[in-house]
Structure 1
Amino acid sequence: MGRVAGKVAFITGAARGQGRSHALRLAAEGADIVATDACEDISSLEYAMATEDDLRETERLVKELGRRVLIRKVDVRDQDGMNAVANDAVEAFGGIDIVSANAGVCGCIPTLDLSTDEWQDMIDINLTGVWRTVKATAPHMIKAGKGGSIVLTSSAVTFKGSANVAHYNASKSGVEGLMKTLANEFGPHKIRVNTVHPGNVGTAMLFSDSTLRVFNPDKENPTIEDLRERARGRNPLDTAWVEPEDISHAVLYLASDEARFVTGVSLPVDCGLRVS
């Protein structure tokens, strides 16, 4: 029996990166998967978002693991769309037991250079999108009366106050604050709410041009290897970044019954960045 056997996991931002990794890790441990992603580029960001083909690939990989999967193209900024997917999930699979509010974006820009759109898109996706995800899914969990686990993706920058990510830090710090309130509100329903705080993770978000430039302001065209050399020195474990699977292990723990008395916790997976 898997660690989340018989559960249904609702995951946002699941077309690639950490979201896909979470879907596959939970599926490998017995969960059926509801995978959502916006699959649209965002004009205020430099790097390309996931595509519908990426989302279909997540679907294929989950099916290869022998689990049921429901995919939907929906933006976490769309409450009606998120509500519809949650309703579809309950109709298809009978309920929702695990929520991974993972969808998020990042950009590295000095605070005074931020445009209104850059600020607002970050807040709308990373913070309000998490709230909308919970608003769509939690009522079904409460109605079912079986408890459950909600894991919100925050960031290690909330511990550090890193420069050039004011909009990102504000959004992810807000996610941690939201988690603490939800843990209190949902506790009586046996629903646990926690945050996972990744440090650098090897995904397209980390390898964007804006991140490469911030880590290497002295280089005209910095590379991923330049990033590796600069980033590794910030972490006590002398590792530049972790892989998406490393975050998925933490999500699985928080989703499983092994963490049945764990709620209101901020769990970092950051190679010690927060204490450096």
Structure 2
Amino acid sequence: MGFIRERLSMSGRVAVVTGGGRNLGRGMALGLADAGAAVVVAEIDEETGPAMERELREAGHEALWLRTNVRDSASIDALVAGTLERFGRIDVMVANAGGMFMAPALDISRNGFEAVLDLNLTGAWLCARSAAKAMIEAGHGGSIVTVSSMNAIDGALYGAHYGAAKAGILGLTRSLAAEWAEHEIRVNAIAPGGRRRLAGDEPGRGQLMGGGSPEYIENVAAAVVYLASDLSTWVTGHTLVVDDGGTSTHAPPRGA
């Protein structure tokens, strides 16, 4: 086996994906399983979580669904404990769960702002912290992947709370990478998004592409597998932008 295949293989490893029952999280879970990892689907939804576990099992992968609320530190601690009870180890934590509501900045209440920060930023920190404790105690190191957004780089129109939370994840990621390096724990972020492609015969105008398309989900999942596997053993504290050039083209959206 060549060194690329050997380092890509995650056979014998255990990966946790929060929000792993749908959308990007589902793609990440499928990608990690395809690389050979046992996958814990940490999902609050009681329909998509079990369905994802069944899908992985029917494809011949080891899988477990654990109902998880990333806004609740006790729930996250229970997630890690349940993973250790079932598989005996945790090698990868993908802090993917998140969300937002769109609103002009002037209309966002303090409670609304804090709720989005709590779900996206605080939730990522709680997941990373709980996983790192288990990795340090086991002494085998590991990989933590946080999920930011192109909105952390370009800003988020009608999403100031979301842009702030996702930008915070970038600082959190670099800080944790520096602090936990001595324990052989790598911490990296991905910043997914879509490219603004020119639209028809309207020079200078375009529309944001990506969203929930299979192409988008598969490319984001591939980035997560890279950061989770030994292909990236010399990569930590890094933000990998996966946006099909979205943050470099800057074509304005349709109608702008």
Give TM-score, length-normalised by structure 2: 0.86
2:218, 2:51 → 1: CA distance?
17
Structure 1 match to 2:3:
none
Residue of structure 1 equivalent to 2:25: 19
- Residue 137 of structure 2 is matched in structure 1 by 143
Q: Contact 1:105–1:125 (CA<8 Å) still a contact in 2?
A: yes
Structure 2 Cα separation of the partners of residues 118 and 75 of structure 1: 18
Detail structure 1 runs of 4+ shifted over 6 Å in the superposition: none
Aligned pairs for 1:241-260 (under 5 A) are 241=211, 243-260=216-233
What TM-score do you get using the length of structure 1 for normalisation? 0.80
Counterpart AA for 1:107: F
Q: 2:63 aligns with which of 69, 84, 89?
A: 69
Task: Measure how far apart 1:72 and its partner are.
Answer: 1.3
Q: Is 1:196 aligned to 2:179, yes or no? A: no
> What letter matches 1:145 in structure 2?
G
1:27/1:65 contact within 8 Å kept = no
Tell me if 1:5 matches 2:11: yes
For 1:233 and 1:131, how far apart are their aligned partners in 2? 35
Q: Residue 16 of structure 1: CA displacement? A: 0.5
Deviation at 1:113, TM superposition (A): 1.0
Identical positions, percent: 40
CA distance in 1, matches of 2:227, 2:89: 19
CA distance in 1, matches of 2:79, 2:154: 35
Which residue number in structure 2 is paired with residue 113 of structure 1? 107
2:231 is paired with a residue whose SS is helix
State the Cα distance separating 1:64 from its structure 2 match.
Answer: 2.1
The one-letter code of the counterpart of 2:154 is K
Is the contact between residue 234 and residue 273 of structure 1 (CA under 8 Å) also seen in structure 2? no
CA distance 1:240–1:80, change in 2 (3 Å): closer
Measure, in 1, the Cα distance between the counterparts of 2:189 and 2:17.
14
For 2:44, give the aligned amino acid.
A
For structure 1, the residue ranges without an aligned partner over 5 or more in a row are: 40-51, 202-225
Give the root-mean-square deviation of aligned CA atoms: 2.0
Deviations 1:184-225 (A, max 9, x none): 011111111000000149xxxxxxxxxxxxxxxxxxxxxxxx
2:54 to 48, 51, 60: 60
1:18-167, aligned counterparts within 5 Å? 18-39=24-45, 52-167=46-161
Residue 246 of structure 2 corresponds to: 273
| Residue type of the alignment partner of 1:253 | Y
Counterparts in 2 of 1:188 and 1:56: CA distance versus 1, 3 Å = same
- Output the CA distance in 2 between the equivalents of 1:57 and 1:254: 26
Query: 1:135-193: CA deviations, max 9, x gaps?
Result: 22111111111111100000011111232110000100111110000000111111110
Distance in 2 (alpha carbons) for counterparts of 1:180 and 1:92: 31
